[in-house]
Structure 1
Amino acid sequence: MPDVDNRGGQGACPRCSRNLRYLGSATEVEPFWNRIGAFFRYPFHTDPLMVIAICTLVPLALSANLIGLVVSLLLAMALLKYTYAVINHTAEGHMAPPPVTTAFSGEGFSIVFLQLLVFIGMGALVTGAAMLGGPLLAMLALALVVLTLPASIMVLAMERSALAAINPLHLVGLIARIGWPYFLLYGYLVLLTLASGAAQDFALTHFSPWLAGTLAGFLNSTFTLILFHMLGYLLFQYQEELGFASDLQDEEGPQETSQRDPSQRLDADIDMDLKDGHYDRVQGALISALKKDPDNRQRLEQLFRLLTARNDNRELYRHHIALLGWLADTHNGAGVADLLARLEPISPSLKLDDPELAERCARCLYHQGEYRKALALLQDFHKRFPDSHSLAPAYVLAAQILANGLDQWEKAAAFLGFVKKRCPNHPLHSQVDDYLQQVARREPLKGPRATFTISD
């Protein structure tokens, strides 16, 4: 559907005009396991780096008092708010991070309190399991909570509801719709968490407390952004299964309808009509397109292939001038020979009225080895086009065909003599003597040998 409104997610079927369901990038998005490198580069864009720097370094510079505690808590909330913005931003198709102002604007902090409620609910679930069934049931409940935590984060980011984020039916439903890739992502997240913990432990062990705290905070924030970006991308990748549609937003936007290439719509219609067997409709569309753009090589090729496949020789005859011109332009000697063979029953004595086209087609046939067909196109060339600039190259070509292809040296010499006598002002005239010498020696007629002599 090359001409629908991608930005508005609207489009109508070109056959029945019914509204289509928009799929966004669901059918062409790259799987997340092919983008691991991009995930790790994500936090090192300018905006997330600024958020990480502010939320990590500022608390370390504050005094250990009530004001420092409040500011540190607010910055932690801003970082958590930014990570949820990363999920939504990525799920909408933005592969570039959200701006730094997203973390510190006055809106959206409710997600922090919702996340706190989710953690309280999960803790209550594990505690209740311990009270009812002892340590074994508590361990099972904890394992379930850990397994569904990524799904809970995604549900909370999409629905902004703490109840939905701890509802087992919602979580299991999300995991079921995504399928096995959820568990693959879960494995990546586990490795990511272990790597983050190991890096922070190394920093705390080998560096001074102030530097270790800075590095640990930076690493924790960085790995958190990577994790949340991966969760958002999983939503984006499985948008169709999850019931929404998004497009890649950071690339060049879709063109406005007035700027779209109408040939894309024609290509799509041709493709559908061919598959449906509506060949007359395809033929009519191609002929109409060629009336507007007679030199369009793509449409000429499509028309030629369609008409030859249908054995519609009469329609080929109607368009043979344009088709022969296209075949000559593409140096398709086999196509020229095939088309002329198809036209022979309809017009046994077919003559081309365009001298340049006749010479070009004859040259294609010569290189294809169709010597007699090439000569037929050049027959009586001097009578039909006595003043044509193509006369000299046409008769030099005829001499090459006779000498190189048919071994008729005397006739080749006659054609060359005609060019020498009748075309004294043509650039080829200076080469005729070389050709005649080659004829005399019964050598294949080629152009004059290159010389690298520099005249004084």
Structure 2
Amino acid sequence: MDCKYHDNKQALWHCEECDIPFCMDCVEVEAQMSAPRCVLCRRYLASYGVSQHVEPFWNRLNTFYQYPLQKPAKSFLLFYAIASLVIGFLIDIIPIGFVGLILRLALMAMLVSYVFSVLSKTAKGDFIAPTYDQTVTYDSDGMTVKVIGLFILLFLGGVAITGKFSYTGLYLYLLFVAFIIPAVLVTLGMSKHLSSSINPLNILETIAGIGFPYLILFGLVTVITYSLSWATFFINYWLPDPVVFLMSQTATGFFYIMMFHILGYVVYQYHAELGYGVDIEVLATNENADLTVEQRAMAHADIYIQEGRYQDAKDKLLEAGQNLKFQEAAYHKLVKLNLVKQDMAGTIKAAKLYFDNPELKSHAYNAFSLYQQIRRLEPRFRPMNANARAILIEQVRHKNQAEEVAWLAQDLEEKFAQDPNLPQALLAQAKYFAEIEHEDTKAATILKQLIENHPQGAHRFEAEQLLKACQAMMA
């Protein structure tokens, strides 16, 4: 379903009171909101779900591998590699199996706490890798013990299947486990309950919530797992024993950080379908990274105009105009709105804001068109700054518009004697007489006065060249 006010954007929210679908641009978002508000009635909106709005995870494959290269992740990997080196050395010199097991579990706990922190952080829309300090707080729920418990349960399930159905049953069981493991890890990471992660109903709900793309997720996890296996194989084959443990553990850390980031992003993409909350402000920030307060105000103004709430629309346009990037569009629309309402005072006030824009030259065509519309309502109107006058005169390219030039140039030197843009306005007037009217005498007179009264400035060279051309035509 499309947004009512923006046909090219998908609706993400629905106001039950107004019965209106909204896109993200249209909604009212404030910090600490549990959901955005309707800009018309101020009631909270219901979500349509955002899985089609968030960039699909399969379109971000080229970015996932970069996640472990972020500074916090690299710092963790360095710390993890040093710990692996030390533990590998201790395992070699302490020939006691129980001690080796404890050391390996300690290393595992370090990685488990970090990767589940990655999953949780990404699922909430925060794509900055966590520091290791943040994982200490996260692992207060004992994720390491729960992961060990999960693998013990899966192992016991495999033993039971093998005892009853032999190795054929075991192969099918392993294939089944490989297929459900992404859903199991997602459920464990988000609920933090071992019982929830192995609940068949929860697993089915996760797979169904993601839908067909779950097959893509399963494929990605499988590829990462086999890539890690091959990397470990080559490390064991080519490298000497003292560095095998270090390199294999570092590779494991890298691949698992990437995999859990993918799992977290899938939760972020399908959070509405999976029933996990994502802070609305984070969602708005991630999906509208370039959407400023002013740009949202522009979208809200469109809503108010279509709903006939013109004063609210004017307020929003004035708000949007505070940002130079949106100033031309906001004030242009404000002038047009006042013109439609035949509000002369409002039109003149808005026109002053519009023609005072320092970037007006880049919108010269629109500025001249708007100026003509304003004059149809108020024939006495003309901008009260030399820059706007110069820009408008430059847009006059026909002889039948000579009156416009005369009107715009009528009081230039009297009103704008101290305006630094006065020379440009006079030069524009001279160019009109020389190039459009072919009245070289008038043009030369203006140019001589311009050079005499304003001898310094960027205009001088062009004025002198044009004066020479006019004098040559007069000879």
Change (3 A) 1:287 1:368: farther
Aligned counterpart in structure 1 of residue 243 of structure 2, from 211, 228, 233: 211
Change (3 A) 1:314 1:187: same
- Could you tell me which residue of structure 2 aligns to residue 5 of structure 1? 30
2: CA distance, partners of 1:55 / 1:307: 71
| 1:15 and 2:40 correspond | yes
Helix, strand or coil at the partner of 1:441: helix
Contact 1:89 1:98 in 2 (8 A): yes
Identity of matched residues, % = 19
2: CA distance, partners of 1:213 / 1:241: 41
Contact 1:151 1:174 in 2 (8 A): yes
Contact 1:12 1:19 in 2 (8 A): yes
Structure 1 counterpart of 2:184, which letter? Answer: S
Shift of 1:351: 6.9
Shift of 1:312: 4.7
Contact 2:119 2:263 in 1 (8 A): yes
2: CA distance, partners of 1:221 / 1:55: 10
**What does the per-residue CA deviation read over 1:189-231, in whole Å, with 9 as the maximum and x for residues that have no partner?**
2222222222222222233333333333333343333333332
Aligned counterpart in structure 2 of residue 199 of structure 1, from 199, 206, 231: 231
RMSD: 4.9
Structure 1 counterpart of 2:239, which letter? Answer: F
- Could you tell me which residue of structure 1 aligns to residue 256 of structure 2? 224
2: CA distance, partners of 1:105 / 1:81: 9
Q: Which has the larger radius of gyration?
A: 1
Which ranges of structure 1 fall in alignment gaps of 5 or more residues?
Answer: 255-259, 445-456
- Could you tell me which residue of structure 1 aligns to residue 270 of structure 2? 238
- Could you tell me which residue of structure 1 aligns to residue 7 of structure 2? none
Shift of 1:380: 6.3
Helix, strand or coil at the partner of 2:65: helix
- Could you tell me which residue of structure 1 aligns to residue 127 of structure 2? 95
Contact 1:328 1:360 in 2 (8 A): no
- Could you tell me which residue of structure 2 aligns to residue 33 of structure 1? 61
| 1:154 and 2:186 correspond | yes
**What does the per-residue CA deviation read over 1:254-297, in whole Å, with 9 as the maximum and x for residues that have no partner?**
9xxxxx986455323203224x3427346643686699999954
Change (3 A) 1:121 1:369: farther
- Could you tell me which residue of structure 1 aligns to residue 438 of structure 2? 407
Helix, strand or coil at the partner of 1:64: coil
2: CA distance, partners of 1:434 / 1:119: 85
2: CA distance, partners of 1:291 / 1:71: 62
Change (3 A) 1:441 1:179: same
Shift of 1:15: 1.6
- Could you tell me which residue of structure 2 aligns to residue 46 of structure 1? 75
2: CA distance, partners of 1:205 / 1:161: 39
Change (3 A) 1:307 1:228: same
Contact 1:22 1:245 in 2 (8 A): no
Structure 2 counterpart of 1:50, which letter? Answer: F
- Could you tell me which residue of structure 2 aligns to residue 270 of structure 1? 301
1: CA distance, partners of 2:371 / 2:134: 70
TM (norm. structure 1) is: 0.72
Aligned counterpart in structure 1 of residue 89 of structure 2, from 34, 37, 60: 60
Length, aligned pairs only = 431
- Could you tell me which residue of structure 1 aligns to residue 393 of structure 2? 363
Structure 1 counterpart of 2:38, which letter? Answer: C
Shift of 1:127: 4.3
**What does the per-residue CA deviation read over 1:404-440, in whole Å, with 9 as the maximum and x for residues that have no partner?**
32234555567678x49xx965549x99998776545
| 1:145 and 2:177 correspond | yes
Contact 1:118 1:162 in 2 (8 A): yes
1: CA distance, partners of 2:328 / 2:186: 51
2: CA distance, partners of 1:135 / 1:278: 72
Structure 2 counterpart of 1:244, which letter? Answer: Y
Which ranges of structure 2 fall in alignment gaps of 5 or more residues?
Answer: 1-25
Deviates more, 1:355-364 or 1:136-145: 355-364
2: CA distance, partners of 1:335 / 1:219: 59
Structure 2 counterpart of 1:117, which letter? Answer: G
Contact 1:80 1:112 in 2 (8 A): yes
Aligned counterpart in structure 2 of residue 377 of structure 1, from 396, 404, 407: 407
Aligned counterpart in structure 2 of residue 83 of structure 1, from 99, 107, 115: 115
1: CA distance, partners of 2:161 / 2:373: 85
What is the correspondence of 1:328-407 to structure 2 with a 5 Å cutoff?
330-331=360-361, 334-335=365-366, 338-339=369-370, 341-342=372-373, 350=380, 352=382, 356=386, 360=390, 363-366=393-396, 371-377=401-407, 385=414, 400-407=431-438
Aligned counterpart in structure 1 of residue 472 of structure 2, from 425, 441, 454: 441
Structure 2 counterpart of 1:108, which letter? Answer: S
- Could you tell me which residue of structure 1 aligns to residue 352 of structure 2? 322
Change (3 A) 1:23 1:229: farther
Contact 1:396 1:416 in 2 (8 A): yes
Change (3 A) 1:52 1:230: farther
Contact 1:156 1:165 in 2 (8 A): yes
2: CA distance, partners of 1:393 / 1:206: 75
Contact 2:184 2:197 in 1 (8 A): yes
Change (3 A) 1:316 1:442: farther
